Amino acid sequence: MTERVVLAYSGGLDTSVAIGWIAEETGAEVIAVAVDVGQGGEDLETVRKRALACGAVEAVVADARDEYAEQYCLPALQANALYMDRYPLVSALSRPLIVKHLTDAANEHGATAVAHGCTGKGNDQVRFEVGIGALAPDLKVMAPVRDFAWTREKAIAWAEDRSLPIDVSKKSPYSIDQNVWGRAVETGFLEDIWNAPVEDVYSYTADPSQPRDADELVITFDKGVPVAIDGETVTTLQAIEELNRRAGAQGVGRLDMVEDRLVGIKSREVYEAPGAMALITAHQELEDVTLERDAARFKRTVAQRWGELVYDGLWFSPLKNALDAFVADTQQHVTGEVRMTLHGGRAVVTGRRSQESLYDFHLATYDEGDTFDQGLAKGFVQLWGLPSKIAAKRDQRG
């Protein structure tokens, strides 16, 4: 029986060339798998036909937008996950979903290997290969671009020699990866970290410096899930898409940062994530109202570690699974409404209300209606500071 290889297929130059290259070099049949996570661009049928025209024996295309939103973006939202306290894991979140579809296709079609088009400098090679190892440890992995030092020029020449149906006449000055959770832009003139981004870098967001009216909205959450915007019921995907549109129109969600890649390289990245940043801002605010103090403090530690694990390609790791259980438990009371104003590149919370709120007006107020017994405070303060006071006396004796 002829060996089969499942290829993570984007429809672009490198993965289109990889179909024929793998077939020629190994004699294997190639099954192309393309997954729609809201990246836009060509429709799935066009991508499928191109894969077949480039030599794939089968082309599997999956509309995974709802799956991505509900099973990957939502957990990131509930964790308030921001790598290095800024990046909402745009590319990192989509990779484990793609890995799942690749391994499913490998099982269905009897493949013995999975191939991807990642380079040796980036994080995605790790995310793909570690994820594949976790879900299907017996599968081999092929990485032609990395392992055989492909260049764009070599790929173009290979495609032209074989008359592959690929348009290679235009090349963006940037490397771009995007999905419904956000958009990542790198390379080109951005590699000089002194250069400021120009407006043509951006696609999901309008220039926040341009004058426009503010946009006010109310987001409703039920157990940490966004379920309505301005009273209109939405799915998780619809919530992200609607806030991409409305927050993006106000320039919300632009990030310019030098981040620490897993491979040890510092990389300059420009991100746009209007829906993600607006939702995380609202969700954090509702947690401030509904989570008990110590649970909230510990959750911030969990959020940082959760984000690092996902960024580092460890979505399927035991620690990530354990942290998921903690995050899920914290969401039981994160129900209520958050009012936000979107304007000038900022998402600002202006109101919050919840039947699960731990905020007690009568305890918080300094005015009429105050029920807090201030007589209890003196003894509390003395006991709270007692260990430090004892230690200070000892140190002064020395």
Full pLDDT tens readout for the chain, 398 residues: 689 999 999 888 888 888 988 888 889 999 999 999 999 877 888 989 999 998 999 999 999 999 999 999 999 999 999 999 999 999 999 999 999 999 999 999 999 999 998 888 889 999 999 999 999 999 999 998 888 777 778 878 877 777 777 766 556 678 889 999 999 998 889 999 999 999 999 999 999 999 999 999 999 999 999 999 999 999 999 999 999 999 999 999 999 999 999 989 999 999 999 999 999 999 999 999 999 999 999 999 999 999 999 999 999 999 999 999 999 999 999 999 999 999 999 999 999 999 999 998 888 888 888 888 888 889 999 999 999 999 999 999 97
| Gap between the Cα atoms of 182 and 257, Å rounded | 15
pTM of the model: 0.94
Which residue matches tokens 């790929």?
155
Q: Would you state the pLDDT for residue 92?
A: 96
Asked if CATH classification 3.40.309.10 holds for the domain at 175-291+334-353, the reply, yes or no, is no
| Gap between the Cα atoms of 171 and 156, Å rounded | 11
Q: Would you state the pLDDT for residue 127?
A: 96
11 marked among binding-site residues: yes
9 marked among binding-site residues: yes
Specify the amino acid at residue 4: R
Instruction: Look at the domain 4-161 and name its fold.
Output: Rossmann fold (3.40.50)
What is the domain partition of the chain in residue ranges? 4-161, 175-291+334-353, 361-397
Q: Would you state the pLDDT for residue 141?
A: 95
The CATH number assigned to the domain with range 361-397 reads: 1.20.5.470
List residues with catalytic annotation: 14, 95, 124, 175
15 marked among binding-site residues: yes
117 marked among binding-site residues: yes
